[in-house]
Amino acid sequence: MPSNPSDMSPESRTVSPRRIVVAMSGGVDSSVAAALLQRQGHDVIGVTLQLYDHGEAVGRRGSCCAGQDIHDARRVADRLGIPHYVLDYEERFKTAVMQSFADSYAAGETPIPCVTCNQQIKFSELLGTTRDLGAEVLATGHYIELRQGPCGPELYRAQDAARDQSYFLFATSKAQLASLLFPLGAYPKAEIRALARELDLPVADKPDSQDICFVPNGHYTNVIERLKPAAVEPGDIVHEDGRVLGRHAGIVHYTIGQRKGLGIAGGAPLYVLRLDAANRRVVVGPRESLCAHWIMLRGVNWLGDEPISADGLDVAVRIRSSAPPQPATLFQCEDNVKVLLRDGDYGIAAGQACVFYADASPRARVLGGGWIERTSGRTEQVGPREEETSRQGSGQRALRAGYGA
């Protein structure tokens, strides 16, 4: 852990004072990031994005970028004596994030809007604003560590494993990393709270946000119904063997792996296996039918130093933000990547992310990731190594390629 507030992450200790834009959400993390950078002698500018209906958001607790959060960010900036700007990104956010969220659900997927927001708003649009303000880099309060490696910037899991946000930042490109700072990667959350109190920041005891900012109280179906009405049209609940077992009120009410709340009774337990959006069907079956070993990805962002070998690359992957990394092998397949899970997993949902790590260690290097498009069982194979791959030790080839922590 850093010994004092001026000892931040490795990349911050090696730079001269410069102008830095800090994305300030109004929470404790980004507020402390701004304070630490200012204490280091940097010329700090705070920027807060108005992303979702300011009027509706005022006073809403537990969601980022709401009216109260904009007010809190301004109070912190005033306390630090730094310039603060509020930028209206509502239209861009609605198009790039909210509509994409609704479209993904309508297609039978389970999207992660926070990744899309980081990829297309914060680390794209806001980086442009950073340059417009004459700043060299953009800093955020994310818990992830950025180090300088022999081939350029490298991402690593945060020191505080419970707060590590690498799963949500896999889509950050190498070009974007060159203009980013993550000051909190080497800190535990408890120390950030303590620093906020020491610095007398008005948000020192503010609760962390939990909800998706445009989904108040977790009622995401209301948002989808407004943006994509067809996604809540009724249809059949069908067993994988073809039997119609009941009706549903819209596929958006279901997710892969769901067991409870299916509205069908009797027999052995059934789980949602897939969502057939084209035919408005919820397909169910036994738990064993949920098990997948192969994952086909789209939109892969590769952060490794060398291309994925034709023979495959042993790594560790996370297929849920709350899941630990598990052993897997990556195979390059034309323009995308296919993943072989050594032990298989259950309930993998299209639209979620599969994030690559050099190994399963707590401070492993992040090698990128992609969006889950579809899954299949062990019998589908690819490449010359096939089943041999699943028996090899995860991380061995990655370490040989120089991706060790």
Active site residues: 117, 213
Q: At what angle do helices 99-106 and 220-227 cross, to 10 degrees?
A: 90
What are the Cα distances from residue 251, in Å, to 111, 262, 272, 302?
A: 14, 11, 11, 32
- Residues in CB range of 399: below 8 A, 6 or more apart: 358, 359
- Residue ranges of E strands in 192-270: 235-239, 244-248
Contact status, residue 137 vs residue 20, Cβ threshold 8 Å: yes
- Percent of the chain as helix, strand, coil, to the nearest 5: 30, 25, 45
Element (H, E) at 340: strand 336-346
- Residue ranges of E strands in 40-144: 43-50, 84-88, 137-139
Give the number of other CB atoms < 10 A from CB of residue 88.
11
DSSP code of residue 172 = -
Which contacts qualify for 191-199: CB closer than 8 Å, 24 or more apart?
A: 191/1, 191/2, 192/28, 192/29, 192/32, 193/28, 195/5, 195/32, 195/35, 195/36, 196/28, 196/31, 196/32, 196/35, 198/5, 199/5, 199/32, 199/35
Cα–Cα distance between 123 and 351 in angstroms, integer?
20
Sign of the alpha-carbon dihedral angle for 48, 54, 57, 59: positive
Give the number of other CB atoms < 10 A from CB of residue 75.
16
Cα–Cα distance between 40 and 258 in angstroms, integer?
49
